[in-house]
Structure 1
């Protein structure tokens, strides 16, 4: 029996969110399979959850993200707002002037090598010299058998085996976007500029006012209706929202709209924050702090589940060093790199509501984690999951002893006290034969993990060992996180092409094509110090320094109320045996 496809509409609000979203959609595109061979194993993930099928004016079938992306004027660079899939190819001009006409054309922005190659693919050109007769023969055979043959970006890039170094040429997110978007997907806010010092969307109140304006609200509702009304079983919305600028206020209005208009649907909101902003200043850092506090409170209030997603070591004024991973070599301050790490983790954490078998809808995951009003979750990931080639999952997990393999992605670390209110753990990219220990008859298991009979049991036993009383949902798929250009090659030489650790270093020009990933989405007491630090930092600011921020649309009373809500929210995550660290005066007001 075929699985019911529960569709999801994705919204990306802000420039860094679009960086993460671009890598996210590139990963989804890399995982798509158009192979008409009926002997191929069925996909473990339903791509129709995220993608929609359409037809161009010329009758060409398209498969585009079910996506609405919002950004500011000047943020698209070479990308056209209406996209390129549905153009007629003819420019219609109507003139009433009969005199001489002089046309001035502005030179378009230069495209990097990756975008130039995508243009060549769209025009039917080859990327590199080589014999492609095998692929052409497969396509001809598929057509003769009545199948559908598509020369995809995936197959073309894989055949060319071309590597790109885009670190110096990526200026905006569209510089590495490899998927076509529907004309209804891209929404540009022309009231504010992406670059420059004037007309910047810097404050929460500006974003709130935008969402109340008739122009923006009507256009957004029109796009929502377009994507929602074609869904048969809409399960909800996933919202990627910049947390530290005015998009936090816009996201507040958008999630409130979704909550009011589509009650009962899941709303998963990911609050994105880069490690560093370009051209920052003390005043801008103050804005980032207060925007984060206001955004976190409001976004979590209107969402089924809210999760900060960042490599920052904290959300306050003096965060700890950024999160690092033992087998990644990347520049955390470079958005092209940091957004790739977050997107790969997000790709794994969202597996449960995209699975063909064994998963569940958004509401099921949110109900399991958002218990007793705790609608803020924390993300952790082992990227890549550090498993040695030829070993088993029990071997790898048991080698950690009392430590954990994952690193924090929500600006809060692990407390190590064994307390958690609920977890969703997902592992991908480990083949079935490596999930359990292959012990010879009569061999004594070295650890309890080696006695488990399934990968899910191994994972659950590992989590319960560290969190003895935690409700946990475990998910596993064998397919790895597939990496194709332009995902940056940020992997250490200790990883082989399949992302597993190998005894010999990988050849310098050999790319890692896929990686296994382990992720954990938790409702955890570790959020208590994180949220408390944010509350303290925002509350400690001199109101006189906030005059310009408040002048952008946020009332002093609303700010104080939000800070009080943030303090109350932080208290919800105190551990079972943990005393309040806020002092007796706060305790008395609880």
Structure 2
């Protein structure tokens, strides 16, 4: 059985998604364990709390800036518990007379102090305390699990927030881990969690892409790749969503923009793609930094990871933002990290199922090898949160109710018309396995899906119909020693090795108690299923939801990567001199652009190749 994984959490937005993710796993642990389909030990470590109570803490190393961890930590790295830890877990979130809400307010004001171990929040307290999204400023405010004393490393050289002293550029992040003291701190914490694993399967890296943590992630994955060769490294590049208000204000046309000339100005240096109108210098520079951090982080994390997946609810990573992703049964505020990261956490908890299953031999490396052949080391994430199904209906009924797969792209790119992918890993959770069809005995099935004998077969047949190109076989050619993609036949000197498409069906839903936000439609039941009509009284809190999610190696990634490459070409380097003065050489940046374009070509189909040639001719 595959062993344990160590998670690295790099940056405030990655921390927000991680805090929600650990909360989802903690909620699942509070459920009856007789039918546990997922191994909690894959990501969590059992320990004894003061008083002998058993708890589970994430096997986690989290890097945060000064002021970004709230009440979790007030001292520097040397002020933590000694290495000779005896199994007890320190609880950093202190609860005062006013309960958890008071503790969060105290943490937000910066007056809280960690004064020693405290009991973990009880399920009752967690259920009664629903934080308001507008008041949740730090990921520690909605963290409801205990962390090991060696989990959190606060980087004192940079501030979490403010007008100066922030970690804004890729080179700043890289430079941090070139400091021997910082690298020693990271390695000490990393080795602690690795050495206690019985059988390490690999690493999960949650990393902010839009800020200087992209440089931190580049050095971290390089370290993991060098020191733990042969272990799987699955990296997730996270980017916050822009609110629709911010999008409309920033990118309205000159005719409809309601602002004075003092607020915005004309500049033709950015090219026609921006209509010539730009933000004030500070905001324009921040947007350029975001773009360059994203590109450099993507290229470097991809190079040192087994598989890399960008995750965001933003409509675009490029110069011209698009409206954020919408979900039919969720009403969320895209400007709140507390909201957007919660949706990504539900997707993460589902996408990582293949190497956490109790009944499977799958590992991080196996999942990566299903998707990363032919140089395609970037995967696109899709998710349906929640998966739309009527209470009591069957999976065939739910799937047949939609013309297209009812999921949304989480890769900051416009969705392509039609369905196409090279390979995929799909997980459906939260639907019972004992009622795959609602057809009456002796009656002709309403569809081929209704004729299937199990939910597993229903999903496999549905995916085969929706994505026929993903149901072939990867084979290993012993003569030449490289991956070769086979279609109908198999060569004499090759053997079937991996399917292009894998799927898993779980009965266990995604549990969503507080502090997970209650931003769901009133048409959802407690179990996250659709009601025939909205309740007349106040709707009950949604305790769990079904989720459908997938990782795909697909042509849509050409649109994402090549679009990012084209936007970077529009930037005027003279306007970004401060970015390069932080430590990025122009030649290194141009080399990264070349690698980005080469990576985009791995996902190119004939149609996209013709489009790229036409664009090149017009440049």
Q: TM-score w.r.t. structure 2 length?
A: 0.80
- In structure 2, relative to structure 1, the CA distance for the partners of 1:359 and 1:427 (3 Å cut) is farther
What is the CA–CA distance in structure 2 between the aligned matches of 1:555 and 1:111, rounded to whole Å? 54
Q: Secondary structure at the match of 2:46?
A: strand
Q: Secondary structure at the match of 2:563?
A: helix
Post-superposition CA distance 1:362-411 (Å, at most 9, x none): 1111001001010000000010000011211001101112x120001111
Q: Secondary structure at the match of 2:242?
A: coil
Structure 2 regions of 5+ residues with no counterpart? 75-79, 106-118, 247-279, 471-499
2:4 touches 2:199 (CA, 8 Å); kept in 1?
yes
- Give the alignment partner of residue 511 of structure 1, picking from 530, 537, 541: 541
The answer on 1:11 being equivalent to 2:3 is: no
Structure 1 regions of 5+ residues with no counterpart? 90-107, 120-150
Please list, as runs of the form range in 1=range in 2, the aligned pairs for 1:20-419 lying within 5 A after superposition. 20-33=17-30, 41-55=34-48, 61-80=54-73, 82=80, 114-116=100-102, 153=121, 155-157=123-125, 161-162=127-128, 164-276=130-242, 281-358=283-360, 360-401=362-403, 403-419=404-420
Post-superposition CA distance 1:176-233 (Å, at most 9, x none): 1101100100001000011211211100001111111101111100111000001111
Q: Secondary structure at the match of 1:433?
A: coil
The answer on 1:544 being equivalent to 2:574 is: yes
- Give the alignment partner of residue 534 of structure 1, picking from 557, 561, 564: 564
Shift of 1:509: 5.1
- In structure 2, relative to structure 1, the CA distance for the partners of 1:33 and 1:486 (3 Å cut) is closer
- In structure 2, relative to structure 1, the CA distance for the partners of 1:88 and 1:366 (3 Å cut) is closer
Shift of 1:117: 7.9
2:522 touches 2:539 (CA, 8 Å); kept in 1?
no
What is the CA–CA distance in structure 1 between the aligned matches of 2:355 and 2:363, rounded to whole Å? 5
Considering only aligned residues, what root-mean-square deviation do their CA atoms show, in Å? 2.7
- In structure 2, relative to structure 1, the CA distance for the partners of 1:409 and 1:111 (3 Å cut) is farther
What is the CA–CA distance in structure 2 between the aligned matches of 1:305 and 1:87, rounded to whole Å? 32
2:95 touches 2:102 (CA, 8 Å); kept in 1?
no
Post-superposition CA distance 1:109-149 (Å, at most 9, x none): 99986354899xxxxxxxxxxxxxxxxxxxxxxxxxxxxxx
Q: What corresponds to 1:491 in structure 2?
A: 520
Q: Secondary structure at the match of 2:571?
A: coil
The answer on 1:428 being equivalent to 2:429 is: yes
- In structure 2, relative to structure 1, the CA distance for the partners of 1:510 and 1:359 (3 Å cut) is farther
What is the CA–CA distance in structure 2 between the aligned matches of 1:88 and 1:367, rounded to whole Å? 38
- Give the alignment partner of residue 500 of structure 1, picking from 529, 534, 555: 529
Q: Secondary structure at the match of 2:298?
A: helix
- In structure 2, relative to structure 1, the CA distance for the partners of 1:111 and 1:66 (3 Å cut) is farther
Q: What corresponds to 1:125 in structure 2?
A: none
2:4 touches 2:202 (CA, 8 Å); kept in 1?
yes
Q: Secondary structure at the match of 1:317?
A: coil
What is the CA–CA distance in structure 1 between the aligned matches of 2:606 and 2:309, rounded to whole Å? 22
1:30 touches 1:154 (CA, 8 Å); kept in 2?
no
Q: Secondary structure at the match of 2:443?
A: coil
What is the CA–CA distance in structure 2 between the aligned matches of 1:111 and 1:375, rounded to whole Å? 50
What is the CA–CA distance in structure 1 between the aligned matches of 2:95 and 2:125, rounded to whole Å? 24
59-68 vs 491-500, which moves further: 59-68
Shift of 1:333: 1.4
Shift of 1:520: 1.0
